[in-house]
Chain A
């Protein structure tokens, strides 16, 4: 779902997404720098690398002629909180754009807005809507992963409707419909990966939310 350069045709939309996406990442990086524990900072890079790797594993989506891969914004939000999730995903998007031409450099603002900012906010909203004692539950993890992809897809769809000549019905119904299936797959993988990562790191790992931390 990374938007490549040349896809968004209207400069105003490119600028607008940079302001919203870049602004969101800047705010998140301020929250991150206030809230992060030193021992969590060491963990963040490893999880970023893990998300990068997971995004390389495209899997076929049912019988459809498309593939999908884990995005990981929901997973990062579950493990590190929304602020760190936004910063990490924005950095992953930058590496992908600069080194691999996966997602545009000019379109980074749009991708950061959809995949990082909106995805993490949707995941965090979902997690917070759940009573505290169920927040580490697999179903919560699945819901967070699904919500993140739905939020990202909706944002991406709106950007395409505003910034391209594509038929809005095709974008919102067609692409949205296919992505709804991808969102369910994201939820399932998120739940599995959430337990696997937590089991690997142990119960004393400095994951979100730690004591006295609300973001």
Chain B
């Protein structure tokens, strides 16, 4: 399991690097949907205000740094939320007496 954990860490590190790439090198052109909708009318439509709107940390002036911080927060938040969700969902199997295949690999 140790090896698997180390490999997962490598992948998480890669995710942080990719987010950094996105922070500094991403194209600023609108995506297909924004382009066809006309960008202006879809801004700020969310009823719940987001803490890091448009991948920027409010108050951080430098755009790239702001996006890097927001992206790092997003990678860690996604990791946390999805890990929690998958742990809860996979734990449910044991309790519910759902089919546990004899072919399941031991962890």
Q: A interface vs B, CB < 8 Å?
A: 1-7, 29, 32-34, 36-61, 65-69, 84, 87-88, 91-92, 94-102, 104-106, 156, 166, 170-171, 174-175, 178-179, 182, 197, 200-202, 204-206, 210-213
- B76 nearest CB neighbor, chain A only: A49
Residue pairs across A and B with CB atoms within 8 Å: the count is 250
Q: B interface vs A, CB < 8 Å?
A: 1, 3-5, 7-8, 10-12, 14-19, 21-23, 25-37, 41-48, 50-55, 67, 70-71, 73-87, 89-90, 92-93, 96, 98-99, 101-105, 107
| 5 A–B contacts from the bound complex (CB under 8 Å) | A36-B90, A57-B21, A84-B86, A100-B55, A179-B32
Measured in the bound complex, the distance between the Cα atoms of B15 and A145 in whole Å is 19
Given A98-B50, A211-B105, A212-B103, are A48 and B26 also a contact pair (CB < 8 Å)? no
Q: Do A49 and B105 have beta carbons less than 8 Å apart?
A: no
Contacts of B53 in A (CB 8 A): 100-101
- A60 nearest CB neighbor, chain B only: B27
Q: Do A105 and B105 have beta carbons less than 8 Å apart?
A: no
Contacts of B73 in A (CB 8 A): 99
Say what secondary structure dominates the interface of chain B.
helix
Contacts of B8 in A (CB 8 A): 42-43, 46, 201
Measured in the bound complex, the distance between the Cα atoms of B27 and A99 in whole Å is 21
Q: Do B81 and A94 have beta carbons less than 8 Å apart?
A: yes
Q: Which 3 pairs between the two chains have the least Cβ-Cβ distance?
A: A56-B22, A45-B83, A212-B103
Given A1-B33, A7-B45, A100-B54, are A56 and B90 also a contact pair (CB < 8 Å)? no
Measured in the bound complex, the distance between the Cα atoms of B26 and A36 in whole Å is 34
Contacts of A59 in B (CB 8 A): 26-27
Given A33-B90, A41-B86, A44-B82, are A206 and B74 also a contact pair (CB < 8 Å)? no
Contacts of B33 in A (CB 8 A): 1-3, 156, 175
Measured in the bound complex, the distance between the Cα atoms of B98 and A210 in whole Å is 17
Q: Do B46 and A95 have beta carbons less than 8 Å apart?
A: no
4 extra interface residue pairs, beta carbon distance < 8 Å, beyond A36-B86, A56-B23: A32-B89, A56-B55, A66-B31, A178-B35
Measured in the bound complex, the distance between the Cα atoms of B80 and A83 in whole Å is 19
- A97 nearest CB neighbor, chain B only: B46
Q: Do A88 and B31 have beta carbons less than 8 Å apart?
A: no
Contacts of B47 in A (CB 8 A): 5, 105-106
Q: Do B105 and A45 have beta carbons less than 8 Å apart?
A: no
Measured in the bound complex, the distance between the Cα atoms of B74 and A205 in whole Å is 25
- A179 nearest CB neighbor, chain B only: B32
A39's partner among B4, B15, B29, B31 (CB-CB below 8 A) is: B4
